[in-house]
Structure 1
Amino acid sequence: MTPTTSGGRDATTELRQAHDVLAEPYAERLATLLDEMPLERGILAAFCDLVREAADARGAGAPTVGDVGCGTGRLAAYLLNRGIGVRGLDLSPEMVRVARREQPGLDVQVCDLRALPFGDGELDGAICWYSLMYLSPQDRPGAFAELARVVRHGGYVATAWKVGDDSARRGGESLGLGIGFDIWWLSQGELTRRFEEAGFAVAFWGGRPADPVEQQPQGYLIARRSSI
């Protein structure tokens, strides 16, 4: 996979290295964050119910989803407790190392969203929790096509993101850790268009205002892979 470049920078390497630095701080600060967010738990619960119902309808066993951009694996326990098998993926080797430590036994590996290590239709669904917002516009068609390739027909993808006007920003620089990376605060319309072009239909979308410590509203979307 040829890395995306931005302003002469290797944006993929920059993103990977930044999240290597962020792995331990994320493990410390975000480990219990989901416990404090009933709205996000509710959306993830709805996703799990949809994925299980689709698996039951075709007479399959327990469904498996890819946690694409899993970070420290903080969502894995919640998904596993709801009967969903999880295969974690992250661009950052340090995030993967920490995820294996924090979630013993979790199937997790280093991977680029633009080249997923699954066969066609191998997954019942995918979680992209704050991971699609790092895709440049030129990388989005291929990445969304990869999601459509690996999620079986009738399966689901759930995503959370920072809502904005689709313009690029720099993330990480304000943390004082010597890191920086490109990030896009995406509009609902942009995400909807990308999913639909890849062969998904939006099943749910919603959002919430920014919390006092946040700079922007947060969005949530669940899309269903076409059934044929």
Structure 2
Amino acid sequence: MAAAALVLAVARSGGRLTSTRMLLAGVAVGYALSGLTSFLVFASGSAEGARSVMFWLLGSLGLAQWDAPLAVVAVVVILTVALLAVWGRGLDALAVGDETAHTLGVSPDRFRTLLLLVVSLCVAVLVAAAGSIGFVGLVVPHLARRAVGAGHVRVVPTAALMGAILLVWADVASRVLLQPQEIPIGIITSVVGAPFLLLLIRRLHATAA
């Protein structure tokens, strides 16, 4: 949440809060905090501890148990998905443009701030439980849009379900490929997600041309 607040502060420092400013601020803050994390790992005196931290940073479901922490994660995810689905029309308006959103009674700055806080809280809980697993959020929403259209009322729950399915199969692959060793899930999702993202970018450029 502190990182989210810092992103908002940096994005607002240049004037109006826009998606581009938030994106660039997020990249800058992310790199800064990633560098700080790497420094803490490098400065630690325990090689095994540093290895455990790096494994967690790349993502793993190995510590997931059916107890209170997992129940908290489930509640947070369900509430977040429900909220985003309820706010689907506002997301649709924001996707069209700020002027359209204003016309439809949506305040872009206020809505973006609210979205960032809610999603950051959800992501914080998930990362605390399973580490940082990349590319799922970059790949799955595009697949969901192809499956159910662009309306966020349908896209949000569909993306959540498809993301969960992808994560389960990535976890299976991480446990099977190098038995008895377990590969961090983040490596599997990156290997699968990066080529897909490059293909998507290529298609977007071809469509624009």
Q: TM-score, normalised by structure 1?
A: 0.24
Larger Rg: 1 or 2?
2
Name the structure with the higher strand share.
Answer: 1
Name the structure with the higher helix share.
Answer: 2
Q: TM-score, normalised by structure 2?
A: 0.25
